[in-house]
């Protein structure tokens, strides 16, 4: 197989930002089944790209987030193609890149859960860190000229003082953060050493109704919906004081795409500039569903109690009343180290990419709460229909 002769010149000289300019371009997304992968696939398809996605073999379906955009590959209209592979399998990555010859590669696959990275530090290093090196090497060895996006993270800043920007030193506070710092530098090394168009998007936390169910935002909105429908009594959380700069995922995948349309490869912080604590997120989410929370006790004994109930929550679970405890602390969710304060400064992205967040914190919380409540409402309606049908059947 021919090796790439990188000249330091990048494959497209002019940035192309229009939909027509993107027609028939090919992109490869690792992590396409994840939150960001699914929104990015939608965005690229809407711009006329052919999208190839790397998926893991799983004993249960893992394509729920992209099922709505999937078309049978035998269909002549099909623009989305899925390929089995894994970030541990260099041979398959090299073959895939050689066969697909993508113009752009968005590398989003990772063991992305910070708490889990303390339980599985070696695995996280392998997937989240070395995985990036495997992909960069696969690009180099396959001899394909392509543009490469590395999903870097604000977790790399750790406890460096806020506001954090592209110049802020990295002081990671988790195996995940350390693995992402390694991957960040590998992307830069391939850019500087081989002239590859490799960029780091240093994204602050971004959420959506498609957020994984064990991240604190989605865990909260999902639990809230289940509490409203009487399916769950309490929500157990860890560190309530940590502050995050939370944005809206669909806005953030737009920034990923913009980074690969620039004339020169560069690294960008993507953030809202606003920061809120976990407790603020919980208060706002519950308030939107009609439950005002007050906090009593301290540290591990702190509890979220119902202060008042408003009509937003109708119909109420029959046994719910003011004074009930809905939120408790479970030390299982504490981390050996936690990042206490993140607040990004995305002025470089604003200036050079002309990127700004559209959906702000309050609106995002509402979108997530409404979506989880709607899902359960729909499920309940289906159950009611099934119950009615089976009642009718038993009367026949
Ligand atoms: P996510 O929902 O957890 O998605 C992770 C994706 O990686 C999934 O598609 C997953 O596949 C895939 N994956 C995991 N291990 C793999 C392996 N060994 N081989 C192949 N694929 C594998 O993450 P996300 O929130 O969309 O984030 C996307 C990327 O941005 C990640 O790299 C994350 O670390 C980074 N990031 C995220 C944020 C954020 O706030 N969301 C902020 C900064 C950076 P399965 O579906 O099969 O599990
Ligand atoms: O939602 P989290 O798990 O997100 P975290 O750790 O900030 O990581 C996310 O954002 C990173 C960007 O900075 C990404 F790179 C990474 O892939 C991931 O998407 O936790 C947020 C905060 C933490 O301080 C955590 O200690 O919420 C606190 N928290 C409190 N109770 C909890 C819980 N986190 C989780 N997951 N579960 C809890 O019960």
Which of the listed residues 112, 129, 281 should we mutate to test ligand 1's pocket, taking the one with most ligand atoms within 8 A of CB?
112
pLDDT of residue 313: 56
- Output Rg (C-alpha) for the chain, integer angstroms: 23
Percent of the chain with pLDDT over 90: 86
Q: Is the CB of 35 under 6 A from ligand 1?
A: yes
Return the pLDDT at 390: 78
- Each residue's pLDDT tens digit, 92-122: 999 999 999 999 999 999 999 999 999 999 9
Q: How far is CA 388 from the centre of its chain?
A: 39
- Name residue 106's beta-bridge partners: 29, 149
The Cα 308–Cα 330 span in angstroms is: 24
Confidence of residue 317 (pLDDT cuts 50, 70, 90): confident
238, with CB counted inside 10 A (0-12, 13-18, 19+), is middle
Residue closest to 94 by CA, chosen among 62, 55, 50, 140 = 140
d(CA 67, CA 350): 33
Which residue, by CA, sits nearest to atom 10 of ligand 2? Answer: 205
pLDDT value of residue 343:
98
Which tokens go with 229?
Answer: 């429908």
The 10s digit of each residue's pLDDT in 5-24 is 333 333 343 334 444 444 58
* Structural contact between residues 99 and 151, judged by C-beta atoms closer than 8 angstroms: no
* Contact predicate 89/97, CB 8 Å: no
Q: How far is the CA of 335 from the centre of ligand 2 (A)?
A: 10
Q: Which residues share a beta bridge with 248?
A: 207
Q: Is position 176 annotated as part of the catalytic site?
A: yes
**Given a cut of 70, is residue 349 above it in pLDDT?**
yes
**Stated length of the chain:** 396
Position 4 scores a pLDDT of 29
Q: Is 104 a catalytic residue?
A: no
156: left (phi over 0), alpha (psi -120 to 50) or beta: alpha
Ligand closest to CA 86: 1
Query: Among the listed ranges 17-21, 132-136, 139-143, which one has the minimum average pLDDT value?
Result: 17-21
CA of 31 to the centre of ligand 1 (A): 5
Q: What is the mean pLDDT of residues 343-371?
A: 98
pLDDT for residue 374 is more than 70 = yes
Cβ(272)–Cβ(247) below 8 Å: yes
- State in Å: Cα 338 to ligand 2 middle: 9
**How large is the average pLDDT for residues 193-205?**
98
Long-range contact set of residues 313-318: C-beta below 8 Å, sequence gap at least 24: 313/228, 313/289, 314/290, 317/227, 317/228, 317/229, 317/230, 318/230
Pocket test for ligand 1, best of 28, 34, 205 (most atoms within 8 A of CB): 34
Model confidence at 151, pLDDT cuts 50, 70, 90, reads: very high
- Give how far Cα 365 sits from Cα of 206, 218, 227, 308, 368, Å: 11, 10, 17, 20, 5
Atom of ligand 1 nearest to the CA of 58: 47
Judge whether 301 counts as a catalytic residue.
no
What is the DSSP secondary structure assignment for residue 27, as one 8-state letter?
A: E
Distance (Å) from CA 122 to ligand 1 centroid? 17
Task: Judge whether residue 192 has pLDDT over 90.
Answer: yes
Average pLDDT across the chain, whole number: 92
Peptide bond into 127 cis (omega under 30): no
pLDDT tens readout for residues 62-87: 999 999 999 998 999 999 999 999 99
Q: Which residues contact 76 (CB under 8 A, 6 or more apart)?
A: none
Asked if 325 contacts 227 with a C-beta cutoff of 8 angstroms, the reply is: no
The mean pLDDT of 38-51, rounded to a whole number, is: 98
Atom 24, ligand 2: which residue's CA is nearest? 242
For 284-347, the DSSP string reads HHHHHTTEEEEEES-GGG-EEEEEEE-GGGPSPPTT--TT-EEEEE-GGG--SS---B--B--H
Count CB atoms within 10 A of the CB of residue 383: 10
Query: Whole-prediction pTM value?
Result: 0.94
């Amino acid at each position: 197989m021919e090796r790439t002769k990188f000249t330091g010149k990048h494959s497209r000289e002019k940035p192309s930002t229009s939909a027509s300019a993107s027609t028939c371009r090919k992109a490869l997304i690792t992590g396409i089944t994840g939150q960001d992968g699914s929104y990015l696939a939608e965005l690229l398809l809407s711009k006329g790209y052919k999208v190839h996605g790397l998926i893991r073999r799983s004993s249960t379906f893992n394509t729920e987030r992209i099922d709505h955009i999937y078309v049978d590959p035998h269909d002549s209209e099909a623009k989305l193609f899925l390929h089995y592979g894994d970030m541990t399998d260099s041979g398959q990555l090299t073959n895939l890149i050689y066969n697909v010859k993508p113009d752009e590669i968005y590398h989003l696959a990772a063991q992305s859960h910070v708490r889990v990275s303390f339980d599985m530090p070696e695995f996280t290093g392998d997937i989240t860190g070395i995985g990036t090196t495997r992909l960069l090497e696969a690009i180099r060895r396959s001899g394909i000229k392509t543009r490469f996006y590395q999903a870097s993270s604000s977790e790399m800043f750790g406890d460096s003082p806020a506001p954090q920007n592209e110049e802020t030193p990295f002081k990671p506070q988790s195996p995940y953060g350390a693995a992402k710092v390694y991957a960040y530098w590998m992307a830069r090394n391939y850019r500087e050493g081989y002239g590859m168009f490799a960029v780091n998007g240093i994204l602050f936390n971004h959420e959506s109704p498609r957020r994984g169910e064990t991240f604190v935002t989605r865990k909260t909105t999902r639990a809230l919906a289940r509490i409203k429908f009487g399916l769950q009594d309490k929500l157990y959380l860890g560190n309530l004081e940590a502050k995050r700069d939370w944005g809206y995922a669909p806005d953030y995948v737009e920034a990923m795409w913009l980074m690969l349309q620039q004339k020169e490869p560069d690294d960008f912080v993507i953030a809202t500039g606003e920061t809120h604590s976990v407790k603020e997120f919980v208060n706002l989410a519950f308030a939107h569903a009609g439950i005002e929370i007050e906090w009593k006790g301290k540290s591990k004994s702190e509890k979220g109690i119902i202060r008042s109930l408003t009509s937003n929550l109708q119909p109420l679970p029959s046994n719910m009343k003011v004074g009930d405890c809905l939120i408790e602390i479970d030390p299982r969710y504490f981390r050996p180290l936690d990042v206490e304060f993140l607040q990004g400064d995305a002025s470089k992205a604003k200036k050079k990419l002309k990127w700004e967040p559209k959906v702000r914190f309050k609106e995002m919380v509402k979108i997530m709460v409404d979506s989880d409540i709607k899902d359960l409402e729909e499920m309940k309606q289906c159950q009611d229909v099934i119950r009615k049908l089976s009642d009718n059947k038993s009367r026949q």
